[in-house]
Amino acid sequence: MDEFQEIQEIGFPALIDKIKNYRGTAQKDTVHGIGEDAAVYKSGAKGKLSTITSEMFLEGVHFDLTYSPFQHLGYKLVSATISDIYAMNSLPQRLLVNIAIPNKISVQMIEQFFNGVETACKDHQIELAGGDTTASHQLLAVSMTATGSADEKDLVQRKGALNEELICVTGDLGSALAGLRILMREKKEWQESEGGHYFQPDLSEYEYVVKRQLMPQARQDLINAFNEAGKKPSSMIDLSKGLLADLKQLLSSSGTGAEIYSPAVPVSLDTRHVADEMKEDVDKYAFYGGEDYEILFTMSETDAGEFRKTFDDFTVIGKITSDNKTLRINTGEGETAEYDL
């Protein structure tokens, strides 16, 4: 009998490396397969490529129905899925939604969920083209598949970062985790209260971070700005697992290292307020939080300077280095932390 090895012994990145070895039968029109934010294949039209990605979401793991309104949940899951398409410098076109529904979920709840899905699809000019519906014994489970299109010359991968290029991130980081911490705290208070099932906390003070957790926005504006400015990053990845985890993937694919200047990492005042209130390190929110669905990309200093004239919602947080085994975090206080890649 084969030895039983727990997945936690090797971690999910190492597990995915093992899965990469299973490729089925190669197709001649496949351009990029496992290892990118989305798979890429030739579409048939000259100079055009198609992109496709799939995401799985499970109640209790990826979302909590205690504090996730169904309409917001539908919107968020679309954002999380199409963010992978944008990370290839591609535009999403169609979405398939597969959903497994337990008896505790009502018809009205499912209608609210798909209302959120449709709102997100309309915001990003995507067709909801189909999917599958089935029953589930206990938990709600959702799988989404998005397809997109890109000009062959515009496609961007995780690999491609070059020594001395700038590392840039859109928006701010850690706010989704800040929102989650607030929602988890309120859930705990509800569970410990004796006020019955109805509980309506006042979250107005935390509106920004809670919205970033419940209804994140995939960065279509960045892709449109690249096109408008005639600029193309050398590499790109969406920030779904956290800055450090996703940056490591990009560096590993590019065969490069990096030095990050910690004080430059963009963090909102709202996120700092939550971290202070929770007596937690705000840098951990930004570096490890995940679910921000911002975009990390690399560019030459010249191109980044020119691109800022068209689009300024990004921050330079560091540089690519030639040391392909090390990620360095400069704290700005004369200290440097190093991580193996």
Q: Any idea where the domains of the chain sit in the sequence? A: 28-154, 166-340
pLDDT tens by residue, 316-337: 999 999 998 899 999 988 788 8
Please state the rounded mean pLDDT for residues 7-20.
84
pLDDT tens by residue, 211-245: 999 999 999 999 999 999 999 999 999 999 999 99
Q: Which fold has domain 166-340?
A: Phosphoribosyl-aminoimidazole Synthetase; Chain A, domain 2 (3.90.650)
Please state the rounded mean pLDDT for residues 256-272.
97
pLDDT on residue 196: 56
281: phi then psi, degrees, rounded to nearest 5:
-80, 115
Does 166-340 match 28-154 at the fold level? no
Average pLDDT, the chain: 93
For residue 46 the two structure tokens come to: 């000259």
Q: Compute the CA torsion angle 155, 160, 163, 167 (nearest 10 deg).
A: 60
Q: What is the DSSP letter of 29?
A: T
Q: What is the CATH number of domain 28-154?
A: 3.30.1330.10
Cβ pair 16, 33 in contact under 8 A: no
Give the predicted TM-score (pTM) of the model. 0.92
First to last CA, the chain: 34
Q: Which residues contact 31 (CB under 8 A, 6 or more apart)?
A: 40, 41, 42, 49, 155
